């Protein structure tokens, strides 16, 4: 006998994913809290008197200074910046290669304690911005080219070591284990079984670091290390807007060249040419590596760097003095409350920055992405937006802060918006690339059934792009909290400003406290961002 | 190639893969532009239209795509509602993502494809056959006059495949239009269509009323040396 069961009729209900709603509402609350803290809802924030000056600054964009004398100065500055970037990146990659061995799981095997300790030790160099390293090093070494090189090399070296170690750990174990089983030593097995599969990623990442180093070298120039950043701040403080714009365009070109070069190398690494029966190397890659090596040698000569400075008696004495003065850290009440207030300001600045950048990036990504088929007008709009984004990220955040101070009253808000504008340049490009990589067919299907551009974007692009773009935004928040310190160093408030004032007063005990707060804050932000990204997946 | 489909016809397009079946359907819904020759859809040349008028024409042509082209990250209800994007203003499309609009019609369409209990599921959590039925439900909500279907039955079991083709054919006939479907299964083609068009390498090599053909003829056509 068969019994037919009547299927109960269930009324479907809309279930929201609790975790995501929690993160979303939490993020909204933090943004509102940050805006309120920055005074966006209360009192005067704009400075109408500065509008005329801002107009003069903006108008100069069309007439950059192009006279021979200034162009020669500009060319020299570009060379100095490139030299710092090349040496800094070279040092970072060297440190990274050594550090990767100390950090890789492969080295530690099952000894988790050692591995955790090695990773934890990285939090200090990674948590401090290049500019902070610059500020500290200048007090140790005086005005020496080593300051710029080490300020880039130390934090970049720490990041590079972590990424290199991750790349090595992600290589499938099969070949390596087989070599070990065949009796090869661990080093030899790694050389044949781990390094070749990882080499593409390692090379790509090295060139990416070189691109980043160009930007960092400019920022270090702003705080006095020379080069394009220095020239930019000189022209700015003497109100020579035409020269400022020449510097900005030179910067944009430099960033564009670094970007295009890095991209070309990464593309070549990703799809190597067939070699056949003869040993053939890719000429483009060989040239790129040779040019970089020659560039590093030239930079050494051009900056007239001497290793003697690092081991001189004066440096040793200064280091001993600073270290003895810096310990124990200063923990009296007024300083701690100042640190807490500054930390809140720093968090609020970074949150406003990332909110502004994410909103802008989402709105612009659709236009900035290169569509497969498009009209001439659409192509032109895309090119204009992409150029605009390039200019936004070519100008370092402190310069944006100075520009915004024309029209905004001093405080947390101009610093936050400056950082937001700069981050928009970076995030807009990442979001556009994420949009380009989406499957175009769902949107094409919606167009084919008559959906308009907005409807097609809402249903065909937005749902698929939200995840990657939010993940990028959270990652950039980690970067933004470090950059907030940079904007602060130049006066916008927060932990950066506090640090700058304590260093200027040679109050090394307080400096240790502020640095510890900085490292803790960046580590906390990294943790929250990682959790939020996990909830998004 | 020269092909005219009249209102009320149900045309099965058959042929080996790479013969140009999808391209033919793409020409009809405007996602492929003709390099030479001309196309008239529902009496209008789509290449001559722009903006609003083009969107109105496109709203009258519904397509079930071979790879479904659904948005995996959206819930089923939104993927079905996407069939109405041509008539909805942008604000309503946006609001519907927060508060699903027109739920009764969506549930009705999903009931007809036996998927009403999954209305709020994320589309990428569904199986291949279930997704195919979501694509059909989108068409039921869109209510087009010309129904184009690219392998609409490829991921379905025979029973569901038959019912899906009936739905699509009924949809076209209700609105006084036509169905053009590319099909791999000769039995389905003969049972649900009135006319069979065979393509080989972009040329029409067979065009006959379904009544004059047998499953054996079509099997020969698929097996024909090319």
Q: For A159-207, what is each residue's pLDDT tens digit?
A: 899 888 888 888 887 788 888 777 777 778 888 888 877 877 888 788 8
Is the pLDDT at A368 greater than 70, yes or no?
A: yes
In A, minimum Cα distance to B53 occurs at A450
Q: Is B162 within the bounds of a domain?
A: yes
Question: Does B153 reside within a domain?
Answer: yes
Residue B180 or residue A255, greater confidence: B180
State which of B86, B120, B143 marks the end of a domain.
B143
Residue B56 forms contact with A (CB below 8 Å): yes
> B103 and B169, same structural domain?
no
What is the phi/psi pair of residue B181, to 5°? -130, 135
Q: Please give the full DSSP string across chain B, using - where no structure is assigned.
A: ------TT-EEEEE--TTSSHHHHHHHHHTSS--SSS---BTTB-GGG--HHHHHHHHHTEEEE-TT----TTSBHHHHHHGGGTTTS-HHHHHHHHHS-S-HHHHHHHHHHTT-GGGTTSBGGGS-HHHHHHHHHHHHHHH--SEEEEESTTTTS-HHHHHHHHHHHHHHHHHTT-EEEEE-S-HHHHHHH-SEEEEEETTEEEEEEEGGG--HHHHHHHHHS--
pLDDT of residue A356: 92
Look at chain B and report how many structural domains it folds into. Answer: 2
Residue bearing tokens 């605009």: A388
- Shared-domain flag, residues A340 and A394: yes
pLDDT at A38 over 80: no
Averaged pLDDT score across all residues of chain B: 83
Residue B224 has pLDDT above 60, yes or no: no
pLDDT band at A48 (very low <50, low <70, confident <90, very high): confident
Looking at every residue in chain A, the average pLDDT score rounds to 83
Question: How large is the average pLDDT for residues B40-65?
Answer: 83
B49 and B159 fall within a common domain: yes
CATH code (residue B22) = 3.40.50.300
Q: Does one domain contain both A240 and A379?
A: no
Give the residue numbers spanning the domain of B76.
70-143
* pLDDT value for B223: 56
Interface pTM, i.e. ipTM: 0.78
Number of residues written out for chain B: 226
Give residue-wise pLDDT tens across range A474-488: 888 888 888 888 888
Contact list, B78 vs chain A (CB under 8 Å): 459, 463
Q: Has residue B222 got a pLDDT over 80?
A: no
B32 near A CB under 8 A: no
Domain limit, last residue, from B143, B178, B201: B143
The partner residue sitting opposite A463, judged by closest CB among B71, B85, B117, is: B71
> Looking at residue A360, what is its pLDDT?
92
Q: How far is A267 from chain B (nearest CA, A)?
A: 29
Q: How far is CA A474 from CA A27, A28, A271, A425, B114, in A?
A: 11, 14, 30, 15, 41
A220 and A360 housed in the same domain: no
Residue A417 has pLDDT above 60, yes or no: yes
- What's the pLDDT at A333? 79
pLDDT at A279: 65
Instruction: Say yes or no: B110 contacts chain A, CB-CB below 8 A.
Output: no
Q: Is A10 on the interface with B (CB under 8 A)?
A: yes
pLDDT one-digit tens code per residue, B108-120: 898 888 888 888 8
Q: Is A363 in the B-facing interface, judged by CB distances under 8 Å? A: no
Contact A445 B69 (CB under 8 A): yes
Tell me if A485 is assigned to some domain. Answer: yes
Instruction: Clarify whether residues A297 and A408 are in a common domain.
Output: no
Residue A128 shares a structural domain with residue A263: yes
CA dihedral of A416, A418, A420, A423, whole degrees rounded to 10: -130
Interchain CB distance below 8 Å, A449 and B94: no
Number of domains in chain A: 2
In contact, A250 and A218? CB cutoff 8 Å: no
Q: Read off the pLDDT band of A7 (50, 70, 90).
A: low
Q: What pLDDT sits at residue A43?
A: 66
Contact between chains at B93 and A458 (C-beta distance less than 8 A)? yes
Beta bridge partners of B208: B196
Query: For residue range B186-198, what is the model confidence (pLDDT) as tens digits?
Result: 788 888 888 888 8
Chain B residues in contact with A456 by the CB 8 A cut-off are 85
Give yes or no for residue A375 having a pLDDT over 60.
yes
Average pLDDT value for residue range A240-252: 87
Q: Are B146 and B41 in contact (CB under 8 A)?
A: yes
What confidence tier does B226 reach under pLDDT thresholds 50, 70, 90?
very low
- What mean pLDDT do residues A19-45 have? 80
A374, A375, A435, A445: which to substitute to probe chain B, counting the most B Cβ within 10 Å? Answer: A445
Task: Provide the residue range defining the domain that includes A531.
Answer: 325-536
In-domain check, residue B65: no
| Angle, CA of A134, A230 and A488, to the nearest 5° | 50
pLDDT value for A185: 77
Q: Are residues A88 and A141 in the same domain?
A: yes
User: How far is it, in rounded angstroms, from Cα B152 to Cα B63?
Assistant: 10
């Amino acid at each position: 006998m068969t019994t037919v069961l009547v299927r109960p009729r269930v009324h479907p209900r809309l279930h929201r994913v609790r975790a995501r709603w929690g993160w979303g509402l939490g993020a909204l609350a933090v943004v509102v809290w940050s805006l309120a803290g920055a005074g966006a809802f209360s009192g005067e924030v704009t400075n109408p008197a500065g509008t005329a000056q801002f107009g003069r600054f903006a108008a100069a964009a069309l007439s950059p200074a192009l006279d021979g004398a200034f162009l020669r100065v500009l060319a020299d500055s570009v060379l100095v910046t490139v030299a710092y970037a090349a040496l800094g990146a070279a040092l970072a990659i060297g440190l990274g290669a050594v550090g990767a061995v100390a950090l890789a799981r492969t080295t530690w095997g099952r000894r988790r304690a050692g591995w955790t300790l090695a990773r934890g030790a990285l939090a200090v160099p990674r948590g401090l911005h290049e500019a902070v390293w610059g500020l500290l090093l200048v007090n140790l070494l005086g005005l020496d080219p080593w300051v710029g090189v080490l300020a880039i090399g130390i934090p970049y070296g720490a990041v590079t070591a972590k990424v290199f170690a991750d790349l090595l750990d992600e290589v499938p174990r099969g070949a390596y284990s087989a070599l070990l089983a065949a009796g090869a030593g661990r080093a030899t097995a790694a050389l044949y079984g781990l390094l070749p599969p990882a080499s593409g990623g390692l090379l790509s990442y090295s060139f990416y670091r070189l691109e980043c180093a160009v930007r960092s070298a400019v920022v270090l120039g702003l705080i006095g290390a020379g080069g394009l950043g220095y020239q930019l701040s000189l022209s700015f403080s003497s109100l020579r807007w035409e020269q400022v714009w020449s510097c900005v365009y030179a910067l944009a070109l430099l960033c564009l060249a670094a970007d295009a070069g890095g991209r070309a190398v990464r593309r070549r690494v990703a799809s190597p040419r067939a070699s056949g029966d003869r040993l053939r190397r890719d000429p483009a890659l060989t040239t790129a590596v040779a040019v970089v090596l020659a560039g590093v040698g030239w930079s050494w000569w051009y900056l007239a760097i001497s290793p003697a400075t690092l081991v001189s008696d004066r440096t040793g004495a200064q280091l001993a003095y600073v270290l003895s003065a810096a310990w124990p850290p200063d923990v009296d009440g007024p300083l701690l409350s100042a640190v807490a207030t500054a930390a809140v300001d720093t968090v609020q600045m970074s949150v406003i920055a990332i909110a502004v950048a994410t909103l802008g990036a989402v709105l612009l990504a659709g236009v900035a992405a290169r569509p497969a088929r498009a009209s001439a007008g659409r192509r032109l709009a895309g090119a204009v937006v992409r150029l605009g984004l390039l200019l936004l990220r070519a100008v370092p955040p402190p310069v944006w802060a100075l520009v915004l101070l024309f029209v905004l009253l001093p405080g947390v808000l101009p610093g936050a918006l400056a950082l937001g504008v700069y981050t928009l340049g970076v995030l807009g490009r990442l979001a556009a690339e994420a949009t380009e990589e989406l499957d175009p067919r769902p949107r094409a299907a919606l167009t084919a059934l008559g959906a308009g551009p907005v409807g097609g974007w809402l249903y065909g692009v937005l749902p698929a792009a939200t995840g990657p773009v939010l993940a990028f935004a959270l990652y950039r928040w980690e970067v933004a909290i470090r950059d907030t310190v940079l904007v602060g160093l130049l006066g916008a408030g927060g932990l950066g400003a506090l640090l700058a004032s304590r260093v200027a007063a040679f109050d090394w005990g307080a400096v240790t406290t502020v640095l510890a707060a900085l490292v803790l804050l960046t580590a906390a932000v990294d943790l929250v961002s990682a959790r939020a990204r996990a909830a998004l997946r | 190639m020269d092909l005219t489909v009249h209102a009320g016809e149900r045309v099965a397009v058959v042929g080996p893969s790479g013969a140009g079946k999808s391209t033919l359907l793409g020409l009809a819904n405007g996602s492929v532009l003709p390099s030479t020759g001309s196309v008239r859809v529902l009496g209008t040349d789509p290449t001559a239209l722009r903006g609003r008028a083009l969107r109105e024409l496109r709203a009258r042509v519904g397509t079930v795509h071979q790879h479904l082209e659904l948005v995996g990250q959206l819930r089923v209800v939104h993927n079905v509602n996407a069939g109405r994007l041509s008539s909805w203003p942008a604000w309503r499309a946006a609001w519907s993502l927060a508060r699903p609009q027109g739920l009764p019609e969506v549930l009705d369409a999903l009931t007809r494809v036996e998927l009403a209990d999954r209305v709020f599921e994320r589309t990428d959590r569904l199986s291949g056959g279930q997704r195919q039925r979501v694509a059909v439900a989108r068409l039921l909500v869109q209510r087009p006059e010309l129904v184009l279907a690219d392998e609409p039955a490829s991921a379905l079991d025979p029973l569901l495949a038959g019912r899906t083709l009936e739905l699509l054919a009924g949809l076209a006939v209700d609105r006084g239009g036509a169905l053009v479907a590319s099909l791999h299964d000769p039995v389905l083609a003969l049972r649900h269509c009135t006319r069979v068009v065979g393509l080989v390498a972009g040329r029409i090599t067979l065009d006959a009323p379904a009544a004059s053909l047998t499953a054996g003829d079509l099997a020969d056509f698929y097996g024909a040396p090319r």
